[in-house]
Amino acid sequence: MADRINVTRSYSPPAEEYQQYVSKILETSVFTNNGPCLQKLEKELKDYLNVPYLQFVTNGTVAIQLALRALGITEGEIITTPFSYVATTSAILWERCTPVYVDIEPNSFCINPELIESAITPKTKAILAVHVFGIPCNTEAIADIGNKHGIPVIYDAAHAFGCVYKGKSLLSCGDVSTCSFHATKLFHTIEGGAVICRDEAVHKRADLAKRFGHNGDDHYCLGINAKASELQAAMGLCNLPHVKEIIADRKKSVELYDSLLQGKVQRPVLPEGLEYNYSYYPVVFKSEKELLQVKETLESENIFIRRYFYPTLNKLPYLNKYYPCPVSEDVSNRIACLPLFFGMDNQTIVQISNLMRNYNE
């Protein structure tokens, strides 16, 4: 049987580059607690993303939790999207807040700003939007709503590393943006994430909260341990110089998919002014039945697609209230991501596309 082809494959930097960092870490025995690799990575990420404040933390989920804490949000309602990975909702619930779901736009799959304002109540504490698949939300409209009502805007930008919209990194949008550097992401640190703040005071609160809320013997606030290790930071330092190469390689794969699948599946619409990162290749089928049949066909060839995102989060079984989101409910039943990763050979893309085209025909 042919080798298994998963929906993604982690990028591995040249072994000797990582080994140099590991050797230094072992030599100094500095493994964590704001070590030199972490400090260097934070600086390089700030420069790469052109943002003023950035915290490198253990993962993208805790990054959202820290964003809420840094903004002083410990209860109340958070207006958010139903179309995202479950971590977006998990972070809200873990911080004892209540998610209020607003439906998505049918072409971008991002939260629909036209529906946000009607969901605002006296209990609303923040808007938490997601740049789904690295496609930008309508940041201007959402900023206007946030400013009008005095509500902070947080962006879960887990998919948006390397995306530039209208000349600015997508991670610079909002009061706080968060990112995931999980091993499956375009840029990764094995596990990891970032909290990117616009305001210095918010940045300082996030920094304090990520290390138990104290400086030395002086305790200031409730905190957790979100400190990333030197080994994580070292992986990031190795991978960051290769990001342009990774994006260029993935772009070629996406363009080949596009040429082979044109007219066969629905694809999200990218806005003008977006320098995209090609982090995923989502396709929308005509029905859930078709999706499942194509999935079964591909799996018989040891090729594994993944349902991003299913189920729609407003239908999670442990929620206390149901918010109807018909667009998200429809799309989540019919969407999946095809395999896409650095170094993917054209023959594999042709094989996947042929199997899908033959099914459609």
pLDDT tens digits, 82-129? 999 999 999 999 999 999 999 999 999 999 999 999 999 999 999 999
Per-residue confidence band for 357, with pLDDT thresholds at 50, 70 and 90: confident
Confirm whether 15-240 and 242-360 share one CATH topology. Answer: no
Name the class of domain 242-360: alpha beta
- Which position has the higher pLDDT, 165 or 264? 165
From 8-12, 170-174, 252-256, 261-265, the region with the lowest mean pLDDT? 261-265
| 35-60 confidence digits (pLDDT tens) | 999 999 999 999 999 999 999 999 99
User: What's the pLDDT tens digit per position in 131-159?
Assistant: 999 999 999 999 999 999 999 999 999 99
H helices of the chain, in order, are: 15-28, 36-49, 60-70, 86-94, 139-149, 200-209, 230-239, 243-261, 288-299, 326-334, 346-360
Q: Would the pLDDT of 70 be above 90?
A: yes
Q: The pTM is what? A: 0.96
CB 331 within 8 A of CB 309: no
Q: Is residue 319 over pLDDT 80?
A: yes
Percentage, residues of the chain above pLDDT 90: 97
Q: Is the pLDDT of residue 359 over 90?
A: no
Burial class (CB in 10 A: 0-12, 13-18, 19+), 184: middle
Instruction: Tell me the CA end-to-end span of the chain in Å, nearest whole number.
Output: 26
Task: Report pLDDT for 358.
Answer: 76
For 328-345, b/e burial (b = at least 16 CB within 10 A) is: bbebbbbbbbbbbbbebe
What gap in Å lies between CA 361 and CA 43, rounded to an integer? 52
CATH match for 15-240 among 1.10.10.60, 3.40.640.10, 3.60.9.10, 1.20.1250.20: 3.40.640.10
* For range 19-37, the mean pLDDT: 97
Overall average pLDDT of the 297-325 stretch: 97
Indicate the average pLDDT of the chain. 96
Q: Is the pLDDT of residue 339 over 70?
A: yes
pLDDT of residue 360: 55
Give the pLDDT confidence score for residue 2 in this predicted structure: 66
Domain boundaries, the chain: 15-240, 242-360
Q: Is 161 exposed, middle or buried (0-12, 13-18, 19+ CB in 10 A)?
A: buried
Per the model's pLDDT, the better-predicted residue between 2 and 41 turns out to be 41
Bridge partner list, 54: 196
